[in-house]
Structure 1
Amino acid sequence: MPPASSIPSPLSTDADARFDVVPLPAFNDNYIWMLVPRSPSADLSAWPAVEVAPGVQRPVGITVVDPGQAAPVMAYLDANNAYLSAILLTHHHADHVGGVPELLVFAEQQVQEGQAPSVPPVYGPVGEDIATVTHPVSGGTVVETVSPRAHFTVIDVPGHTRAHIAYFMAGASASADGAAPPPADGAGTAPASIDQNQPPRVFCGDTLFATGCGRLFEGTPAQMLASLDRLAALPDATLVHCAHEYTLSNIRFARAADPENADLSAWSEQAEALRAAGRPTVPTTLALERRVNPFLRADAPAIAPQLRAAMAGQAHGAVSEGPMSRLAAFTQLRAWKDRF
Structure 2
Amino acid sequence: MQLVRGLHNLRPCHRGCVATIGNFDGVHRGHQGVLARLRERAQQAGLPSCVVLFEPQPREFFTPAQAPARLSSLREKLELLRALGIDRVLCLSFNPRLRELSADQFIQQVLIEGLGVAHLEVGDDFRFGCDRRGDFRLLVEAGRQAGFSVESASTILLDGRRISSTRVRECLAAGDFAAAKVLLGRPYAIQGRILHGQKLGRTLGAPTANVQLNRLLPALQGVYLVSVELAGRHWPGVANIGTRPSVKGDGRAHLEVHLLDFAGDLYGRRLCVQFHRKLRDEQRFASLEALKTAITADIAAARAHWQGQPLENPR
Fold match by TM threshold 0.5: no
If each structure's strand is expressed as a fraction of its own residues, which one has the higher value? 2
Q: Which structure has the higher relative contact order (CA within 8 Å, separation 6+)?
A: 2
Structure having the higher Rg: 2
The normalised TM-score by structure 2 is 0.33
**Could you tell me the TM-score, scaled by structure 1's length?**
0.31
